[in-house]
Amino acid sequence: MSPKKDKHFAQGLQEALKSFSQLESRINENDTPEQFKNMLRHIITQLKLQAEVPQSSSFSSMIMSDLSRLNIMPGGFFAMKDGYEDRARDLAVLEEEGELWSSSNLYCHLSFLENHVARDNEAGARTWIDAFLFWAAAMLPRHKHFLLNMEYCVPEMTIAPGSAETLSGFLDCARVVSDRYLKSASLQELKVMGLFGFFVTEAKYNKLGENYITQAVCEMYTCAKNLQRKFIHGALSNGQAWIFLFLTLNDGFNGATYKQSDEIVVNLSWASEGRTSVCAPQPDIIAAVLAHWIENSLADLENDEWFYDPGASEQTGTR
């Protein structure tokens, strides 16, 4: 069986086929030697055969314009509920006593990372992301078990019914919440388990642009389709800035709509001796949202504790 080609190869193949076809139409109008014409026809035939090989795309190759091919539509932004800063602080205080991963330790940890670990690549960004996730895991109820999967493999999925084109790749990080202890589990195994949550995080080290949002959305969509779940939560982060994402799959699991939050950015300030310290309250807010979203990452956003849909709230008069 012929290997599947990636999207960039397919685009180059189509361009080459177009150029050779244009050349063929021109030489048929003059006295070009028959041997050259036969050679050109052979090349065009081979290119057409290659063009029929199914296309395979990876998450990292996806850009905003690709979402329409997956029938994924943007659904706008959701907003933080009133009083979120006070609630995040209250929750941080409740979780302090006897916990290694506490609010105060999180601030110390992040300040240490800011002063001693470069964030000029994804590995550096993950040190910040991991700090938030470990504390969020400590905030989960004791009867729910948390598993952190790094570089999690997602199997191929066809992008649409009747299409031979597939999408697959690796997640930077997936958090699984289950009713049992797990050391590892594939998506197919998780599908039949007692699964409370499956939270997707995409790590980047620079500005969180729209194409990075696209990659995270495609990862979430593929995971939700494999798990046969209608809702899934996720986040895109460079460690200091976070965008939370929520995806609702269409009926029949063909296509979806995603919503996103505004960026929540951890502010920094200058401390003594040229060092930098992390400012409140954004780390508490991010950790509190992560704890709630990871636990409820396969649930609808309708009863979310931290975010609301401004459009829906205008209709009901609530926020």
* Residues 249, 221 contacting (CB under 8 angstroms): yes
Q: What pTM value is reported for the model? A: 0.80
3-state secondary structure of 158: strand
The total number of structural domains in the chain stands at 2
Given a cut of 70, whether residue 257 has pLDDT beyond it is yes
pLDDT at res. 229? 93
Same domain, 31 and 115: no
Looking at residues 260-277, what average pLDDT do you find? 90
- Smallest CA-to-CA distance from 285 within 133, 84, 81 is with 84
Q: Which of 47-61, 169-183, 227-241 has the highest mean pLDDT?
A: 227-241
Given a cut of 60, whether residue 289 has pLDDT beyond it is yes
Work out the angle at residue 228's Cα, subtended by the Cα atoms of residues 226 and 233, and round it to the nearest 5 degrees: 85
Same domain, 44 and 90: no
Query: Which residue has better confidence, 153 or 6?
Result: 153
Long-range contacts, 112-115 (Cβ 8 Å, 24+): 113/239, 114/268, 114/276, 114/277, 114/278, 115/275, 115/276
Same domain, 9 and 148: no
Same domain, 41 and 149: no
Work out the angle at residue 303's Cα, subtended by the Cα atoms of residues 201 and 226, and round it to the nearest 5 degrees: 40
Same domain, 68 and 49: no
Given a cut of 90, whether residue 157 has pLDDT beyond it is no
Same domain, 162 and 276: yes
Banded pLDDT at 8 (limits 50, 70, 90): low
Same domain, 35 and 133: no
Query: Which residue has better confidence, 267 or 136?
Result: 267
Same domain, 72 and 162: yes
H-run or E-run covering 92: helix 84-94
Same domain, 46 and 165: no
Same domain, 312 and 293: yes
* Structural domain span for residue 277: 61-316
Same domain, 82 and 204: yes
Banded pLDDT at 127 (limits 50, 70, 90): very high
Same domain, 210 and 282: yes
